[in-house]
């Protein structure tokens, strides 16, 4: 583990760069996609329905709507929830900007709720104080794949008549008790970006058990256009359709969905590989005086999209930036999830100020995400462990 740090001119722990996340597309996936490329439908054909049906079955939920990406899924969820100008939506700042951008798309106002120090998920004890007459919904984000405290959050949502949207972009395959994430909230969204659990290139999904919300999602995905004769205001003939709301072209292709279906068949294996790597990391890092390993729960099983360590800055002679740069020089693809959303200049311009979520802000200074994806081999995992030991030992007080 010893030796000069690569950032100081030493030999890096590994020769090639190890990214923090990566897809795993195999020959079966490629065959499935080429079969669709030779078929009649490239988009809005049988593969979309098939993927939706399989996803709904896997998640144990009534309806699943596949959509162009995870951000569109959040936008559609906010639309279906009826978010509009003047509405406030409670959301975690410890997330990708898309979670709260979706509120802005609908003209609503994101209200940031601080996170719990342990889990880095939205802190239920801080929600009620922020509810006003204008509050319409909560967007809970399962940070790193670990489910939020839904027992408390669902209770608060019910008592205050709020719609619960769950951004489960990190949590495909996670469990809440004996239920899969995807059927707890009124609306749950997923992403199939290549770093997520399964990929369709770009892609997303919204799940719900409510037929009314489901119909709104379908409408929103396709320009707000209705074709069902029973629902039309006029009828000029067999060709006739009507636009009833301002929707978008957020459709996903058959090419993408067949890839999703093929990937879904390997999801449980992917999850097992992620959990296996996490066990190795936890065992290697648990007793280190300089870092805190992520919290985990044996009942509500995380899907482990990310492995985020927290630096004990009191035990180190440098800050997060130096550790980050040193790990990068060792060819370890580190990352930081997340910059509190309201730090971004766009949100600053909207009037959000530093200080509104002190736990998220303090936590942000300490976070580093380490590589975690199913295709990592034993050597990759050992390299990450070796590099972390090498770097934090060097900078230890």
Smallest distance from ligand PLP to CB 202, Å: 6
8 Å CB contact between 205 and 76:
no
Helices (H), 82-181: 98-105, 150-159
Smallest distance from ligand PLP to CB 287, Å: 30
Q: Which helix (H) or strand (E) holds 51?
A: helix 46-59
The verdict on 98 binding ligand PLP (CB under 6 A) reads yes
Strand residues in the chain grouped as ranges (E): 63-67, 88-91, 109-112, 135-141, 163-167, 175-176, 179-180, 187-191, 204-208, 225-226, 242-243, 291-292, 307-311, 367-370
The verdict on 274 binding ligand PLP (CB under 6 A) reads no
Q: How far is CA 271 from the centre of its chain?
A: 15
The verdict on 371 binding ligand PLP (CB under 6 A) reads no
Angle at 68 between CA 62 and CA 74, to 5 degrees: 65
8 Å CB contact between 12 and 327:
no
The verdict on 71 binding ligand PLP (CB under 6 A) reads yes
CB nearer to ligand PLP: pick between 25 and 288:
25
The verdict on 191 binding ligand PLP (CB under 6 A) reads yes
CA dihedral over 263, 268, 272, 278, signed as positive or negative: positive
8 Å CB contact between 327 and 367:
no
Smallest distance from ligand PLP to CB 184, Å: 16
8 Å CB contact between 166 and 188:
yes
The verdict on 79 binding ligand PLP (CB under 6 A) reads no
What single string gives the DSSP state of each residue in 181-196? TTSSSSEEEEE--TTS
Q: How many alpha carbons lie under 13 Å from residue 155 in its C-beta half-sphere?
A: 8
Using alpha carbons, select from 307, 305, 324 the residue that is nearest to residue 316: 324
CB nearer to ligand PLP: pick between 71 and 207:
71
3-state helix, strand, coil in the chain (%, to 5): 40, 15, 45
Size of the site for ligand PLP (CB under 6 A): 14
8 Å CB contact between 39 and 254:
yes
The verdict on 261 binding ligand PLP (CB under 6 A) reads no
* Window of 116-124, 163-171, 278-286, 379-387 that interacts with ligand PLP by CB under 6 A: 163-171
CA 332/CA 12 separation, integer angstroms: 9
Of these, 167, 186, 330, 383, which contacts ligand PLP (CB under 6 A)?
167
The verdict on 169 binding ligand PLP (CB under 6 A) reads yes
* Window of 14-22, 65-73, 227-235, 283-291 that interacts with ligand PLP by CB under 6 A: 65-73
Q: How many alpha carbons lie under 13 Å from residue 159 in its C-beta half-sphere?
A: 9
The verdict on 95 binding ligand PLP (CB under 6 A) reads yes
Smallest distance from ligand PLP to CB 170, Å: 6
CB nearer to ligand PLP: pick between 39 and 295:
295
* Window of 93-101, 126-134, 232-240, 245-253 that interacts with ligand PLP by CB under 6 A: 93-101
- Which residue is at the shortest CB distance from ligand PLP? 70
CB nearer to ligand PLP: pick between 70 and 124:
70
The verdict on 99 binding ligand PLP (CB under 6 A) reads yes
Smallest distance from ligand PLP to CB 140, Å: 11
The verdict on 263 binding ligand PLP (CB under 6 A) reads no
Q: How many alpha carbons lie under 13 Å from residue 21 in its C-beta half-sphere?
A: 21
Smallest distance from ligand PLP to CB 98, Å: 4
* Window of 18-26, 39-47, 166-174, 379-387 that interacts with ligand PLP by CB under 6 A: 166-174
Please report, as residue ranges, which positions from 193 to 212 form the binding site for ligand PLP (by CB under 6 A).
193, 204
The verdict on 374 binding ligand PLP (CB under 6 A) reads no
Please report, as residue ranges, which positions from 102 to 161 form the binding site for ligand PLP (by CB under 6 A).
141
* Window of 22-30, 92-100, 122-130, 290-298 that interacts with ligand PLP by CB under 6 A: 92-100
CA dihedral over 218, 222, 223, 227, signed as positive or negative: negative
CB nearer to ligand PLP: pick between 59 and 205:
205
Q: Could you list the residues that contact ligand PLP (CB under 6 A)?
A: 69-71, 95-96, 98-99, 141, 167, 169-170, 191, 193, 204
């Amino acid at each position: 583990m010893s030796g000069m740090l690569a950032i100081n001119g030493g030999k890096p722990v590994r020769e090639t760069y190890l990214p923090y996340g990566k897809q795993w597309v195999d020959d079966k996936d490629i065959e499935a996609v080429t079969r669709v490329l030779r078929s009649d439908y490239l988009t809005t054909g049988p593969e979309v329905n098939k993927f939706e049906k399989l996803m709904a079955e896997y998640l144990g939920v009534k309806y699943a709507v596949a959509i162009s990406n995870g951000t569109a899924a959040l936008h559609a969820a906010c639309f279906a929830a009826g978010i509009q100008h003047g509405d406030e939506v409670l959301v975690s700042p410890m997330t990708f900007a898309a979670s709260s951008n979706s509120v802005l798309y609908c003209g609503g106002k994101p209200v940031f709720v601080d996170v719990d120090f342990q889990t880095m998920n939205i802190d239920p004890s801080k929600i009620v104080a922020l509810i006003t007459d204008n509050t319409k919904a909560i967007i809970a984000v399962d940070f790193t794949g670990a489910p939020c405290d839904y027992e408390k959050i669902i209770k608060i949502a019910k008592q205050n008549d709020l719609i619960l949207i769950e951004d489960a972009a990190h949590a495909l395959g996670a469990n809440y008790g004996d239920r899969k994430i995807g059927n707890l909230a009124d609306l749950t969204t997923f992403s199939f970006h290549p770093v997520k659990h399964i990929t369709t290139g770009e892609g997303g999904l919204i799940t719900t058990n409510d037929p009314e919300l489901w119909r709104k999602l379908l409408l929103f995905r396709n320009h707000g256009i209705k074709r069902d004769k029973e629902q039309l205001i006029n009828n000029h003939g067999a060709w006739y359709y009507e636009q009833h709301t301002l929707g978008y072209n957020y459709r996903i292709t058959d090419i993408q969905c067949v890839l999703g279906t093929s990937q879904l068949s390997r999801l449980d294996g992917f999850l097992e590989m992620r959990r296996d790597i996490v066990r190795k990391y936890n065992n290697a890092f648990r007793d280190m005086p300089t870092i805190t390993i992520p919290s985990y729960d044996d009942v509500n099983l995380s899907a482990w999209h990310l492995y985020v360590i927290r630096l004990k800055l009191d035990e180190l002679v440098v800050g997060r930036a130096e550790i980050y740069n040193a790990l990068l020089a060792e060819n370890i693809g580190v990352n930081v999830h997340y910059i509190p959303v309201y730090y971004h200049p766009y949100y600053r311009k909207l009037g959000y100020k530093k200080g509104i979520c002190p736990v998220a802000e303090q936590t942000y200074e300490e976070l580093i995400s380490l590589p975690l994806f199913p295709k990592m081999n034993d050597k990759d995992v050992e390299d990450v462990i070796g590099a972390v030991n090498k770097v934090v030992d060097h900078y230890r007080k």
